[in-house]
Structure 1
Amino acid sequence: MKDELNYIGQKIMKNKTVLAANVTQLQANLLTNETLEESRNESSSKLIELLGRSLIDNQDVSNEIIEWAHNEASFLVDNTTLTTALRSLAYYRTVIWDVFTEELEQQQFAAITMLDVSKIIDPLLDEISAEYGNVYQEHNNNLMKIAYTALEELSVPVVPINKNVAVVPLIGEIDTHRSQLVLEVTMEECSKLKLEYLILDVTGVPIIDTMVADNLFKVISALRLLGVETIITGIRPEIAQTIISIGVDFTGITTFADLPTALSSIDLKIIKTN
């Protein structure tokens, strides 16, 4: 039995180039022309060699298999779906079994040899499938992080009014994470735009409690160090009542009922300065 497996393994390794071309031909219906460059034949040949070696004296090629799978999946992830990648992987099994079936008939190997080959080859292909899944999952996670970061940045839009003034319309809840984002974005934009005034419009903030107020104070203090005067607008009457009832002190912070009033005040300051 061992001799039969060694024979098949050596046969596969000897004909790896031809077998790789057969795999490429079978994959042509699934993969685009872009993924069927000459380098793909080299990659296919490498896997076939590893599968052949696994049959010779039951060599342990697991680490090399995983490395191959990672490299292959890293290429495929930008070119095709995971479903298509897994379907294309099945063609290696097809090509290997074609070789085995031919030798089974010609050399009259024992029928149990078929089971022994399967016990060795199938787990290796399963390892490749698992690594494909890992690479694709990591890729998707990275895309989600990028999309989430972009969405977060859009949630803190800094809108320039003129060369001195910009407005940040805040909408939704302001938790610790978002307040940190507000701080980072406003500091970066104020420095880049060389702003003198920044208006934080909280009309769309549903509630201002001690935590939200504390977060806003941190933003205002940090911007003050940059020489930016921060103004808060849009505190609705019911929000004002809540602020008073919980004892939040806005003393020292410039507030206005609405954006137009704040802009008028800034214009007056600029006129007096000039």
Structure 2
Amino acid sequence: MEFTFDSTYSLKEFFVENSEKFENTLLSEAVNVKSKISEILQIGNIDLVNNAHKLVIFIIDGKNEELKSFAKQEGIAWATHSLELSFKLEWVQAIRRTLWNFIEKYYELVTENDPEDFFQLEQEFNNSVDEFLNAFFISFSTYKDSLIKVQKELVENLSVPIIPIDPKICILPLIGSVDSHRAGIIKEKVMSEVAELRIETLIMDLSGIGKMESDILVDLMQIIDGISMMGCKTVITGLRKEIVMDITKSGIVFNSETTTLGTLQQALNEYFVEEKHQKV
């Protein structure tokens, strides 16, 4: 491989003048990543080749703070778009190997060189690559955790969809299974919403739930009793046969202020439509 070289070149100038050869060598080193470059660019707008040049220049110039900041940005980008970490690790290690091939060639071409300088440079550059990887993985992990937390909170909020139908009446349609974790979320969300929205009637539709364990039924009764103390009446609709059997077996009974109706439509007719007619 023919290199462009002049005795006056600094190491940085040598890399800049031979940037195309650097790219070709890098792509031959990163076998698995090479075929993913276009896909990664399309998914996350991450230009791996240009970023490799940027990383090398930061390393050569000894710009450690800029290098760490760049690593953090990269970590956030890879976490945001859920890109495979194995590709990033392979790519950076390929950059490390290619960088050293070029440094070795540069020192061969320089007539006056000190071997001690070469080994000192090796240590500094390796430390810089390791610092980049460390900052990248910390940033990736931290941002990924924050994304998971946000997504979890979103799912939790969606799992307790309290729907206002007028200033005093809200519907809580519960769908799917309810475990102790979700029951706790429901309890906290319902209490907060009743207090904040000053809900007077909460229609709790259970038609989407097929079965409840006895401890979950106890949690449900605690929610009903709790909002009753806050001045909110509970209307239960859609009790399926399986839940009714679980309730009767457990010996749990609704408090006297709780109303049960067969369907959500019945509850709406009684508590929403009639209220509108009374206002008229």
TM-score normalised over the length of structure 2: 0.65
Number of residue pairs the alignment of both structures matches: 248
Give per-residue Cα distances to partners, 1:198-228, cap 9 Å, x unaligned: 1111112222332112211222233234322
Amino acid at match of 1:255: T
Question: Does the Cα contact within 8 Å between 1:233 and 1:258 map onto a contact in 2?
Answer: yes
Moved more, 85-94 or 172-181: 85-94
**Change beyond 3 A, Cα 1:128–1:162:** same
Question: Could you list the runs of 5+ residues in structure 1 that have no partner in the other structure?
Answer: 1-11, 52-63
Deviation sequence 1:55-89 (CA, Å, 0-9, x none)? xxxxxxxxx7xx76653222123445556755664
Deviations 1:133-167 (A, max 9, x none): 33223322322222222122111111222332111
Which of these residues, 259, 262, 265, is aligned with residue 264 of structure 2?
A: 259
Residue aligning to 1:231: 235
Segments of structure 2 that go 5 or more residues without pairing to the other structure are 1-8, 27-33
Change (3 A) 1:175 1:103: same
Aligned equivalents of 2:55 and 2:132: distance in 1? 14
Please give the alpha-carbon distance, in whole angstroms, between the structure 2 residues aligned to 1:204 and 1:50. Answer: 61
Q: Is the 8 A contact 1:203 1:236 kept in 2?
A: yes
Residues 92 and 19 of structure 1, relative CA distance in 2, 3 Å threshold? farther
Alpha-carbon separation, structure 2, partners of 1:42 and 1:21 = 15
Give, in whole Å, the separation in 2 of the partners of 1:114 and 1:271: 86
Per the alignment, in what secondary structure is the counterpart of residue 205 of structure 2? strand
Does the alignment pair 1:222 with 2:226? yes
Residue correspondence of structure 1 range 185-200 to structure 2 within 5 A: 185-200=189-204
Contact 1:209-1:243 at 8 Å conserved across structures: no
**Aligned residues with identical type, % of pairs:** 23
CA distance in structure 1 between the aligned counterparts of 2:175 and 2:215, rounded to whole angstroms: 16
- SS of 2:110's partner is helix
Counterpart of 2:69 in structure 1 is: 71
Partner of residue 47 from structure 1, selected from 46, 52, 59: 59
